[in-house]
Amino acid sequence: MTRSSLLERWDADDRSYLALRIKRRLIPAIMGGVIADAIGVPVEFMGRGGFNITGITGYGTYNQPPGTWSDDTTMTFCLMENLMEEQDLEGLMRKFADWRDHGYMTPHGHMFDIGRTTEQSVDRFLSGFSADQWGGGLESDNGNGALMRISPLVFLLFKEFNFDNRLKLVEEIAHVTHRHPRSTLGCVFYIEFLLGLFNNNKPLKAYKQAAEICLNYLKGTKYEKEFPAYERVLNLSIPDLSKDEIVSDGYVVHSLEAALWSFLKHDNYRDIVLEAVNLGGDTDTIGLIAGTMAGMCYHKEGLPEEWLNEIVKKDELLDICKRYFDFCTEKAIAKVEAEGGF
C-alpha cells in the first residue's frame, strides 16, 4: 500500500469513527427524551406522592392515549427540522406558530399543551415584533421552555472548541422564546453537561466540568449575576440533596436541578426516568431533560425497547433523528476538513 493510499484509509477510518460517535449518542439522547416526555404527560401537575409511575401509561392530565408526547418533543423536533433546512430564526418561529395554531409536529394532529412564555413569544412573532423582542425577558419568564428543546445543539457543537461560539448558538436558539439571562444560563449549563457526556466523561466529571466552564467563562458577563440562582448546581451540591430539597416545578432552575438530581442518583436509564417523573409537578419536561441525559450517557442499550415501541409516531420521529444524524455528521466532517483535515 502506498503512503497516499494509507493516508486515505486513515481519513476514511476517522470519518467512520466520527459518524459512529454521533450515531451512538444522537438517537438514544433524543428518543430517550421523547420516551420520558411520554411517561410524564399523564401525570403532569400531579403532586409528589399521589401516584407511582412504573412505565408508559395514558390519559390522566390531558386525557391522551399511551405513548403521547408533549410540546417538549414537538419543539425539539421543530428545532431539528429547522437546523436541517438551514432556515433562519423566523423559520423556527413559523414552525412553532404552525404547531400552536395547526397542530404541526404533534402526536395526534392538535396542540394540547403550551407554556405561557412560549405562547406569548409566538404572539409577538405573528404580530410583527422584531426578533430581539420575541422571547420573554422578564424575571417571570424563566420557565423551562427553552431548556426543554435545546439538546439537539449538542450534535452540532461537539467539534466546536470555542466557548464563545457555543454560547452564541445557544443564545440564538434559546432567545426566540426565552431571553432572560437566567433561562439562558440553564441552557448553557445543560449543553455543556451533555457535551461532557457525549465525550464519554463519567456523570460526576461531566457535572464538574460543566460547572467550571460556566463559572470561568461567564464570569464578568451578564450571566454572573444569575450564578446565585444556580448556586446548588454550580457548587456541585446537587447529588447530596435529599428528595425533599428538590422542587420539581416549571421554573427553569428547579427543572434543571430536579433532572440533574434524578440523573446523578441512578446508573441506568429506567430508574433515572422513573425517579424524575415520580417527583411530580412538571413531569414531562423534567422527565425529558433527565431522559436526554440518560440516553446520552447509557446509549441505545439503556433504552427499554418496550417503552420505545409504545411511542406514538415512533417511526416518523426516528426518521427525523436519522436525517439529523446525517446532517450533523456532514457538518462535523466539513468542519474538521476546513480546519486542516483528519
CB atoms near residue 184 (< 10 Å): 27
Gyration radius of the chain over CA positions: 19
Please check if 70 is assigned to a binding site: yes
With beta carbons less than 8 A apart as the criterion, state whether 272 and 293 touch: yes
Q: DSSP readout, 265-309?
A: H-SSHHHHHHHHHTT-SSHHHHHHHHHHHHHHHHTGGGS-HHHHT
- Would you say 72 is a known binding-site residue? yes
Distance CA 144, CA 150 (A): 10
State the Cα–Cα distance between residues 214 and 11, nearest whole angstrom.
Answer: 34
Q: By C-alpha distance, which of 132, 7, 112 is closest to 62?
A: 112
- 266 vs 273: CA distance, rounded Å: 9
The answer to whether the annotation marks 183 as part of a ligand binding site is no
What Å distances lie between residue 259 and 102, 240, 280, 293, CA to CA? 31, 14, 12, 8
H helices of the chain, in order, are 3-40, 71-85, 89-102, 116-126, 154-157, 163-175, 181-198, 203-217, 231-234, 252-265, 269-277, 283-298, 305-308, 314-338
Residues 6+ apart with CB under 8 A from 50: 280
C-alpha cell recorded at residue 98: 404552525
284 annotated as ligand-binding: yes
Would you say 4 is a known binding-site residue? no
Cβ-contact 287, 41 below 8 angstroms? no
Cβ atoms of residues 45 and 76 within 8 Å? no
Is 5 flagged in the annotation as binding? no
Binding residue ranges? 70-72, 282, 284-285
Binding residue ranges for Mg(2+)? 70-72, 282, 284-285
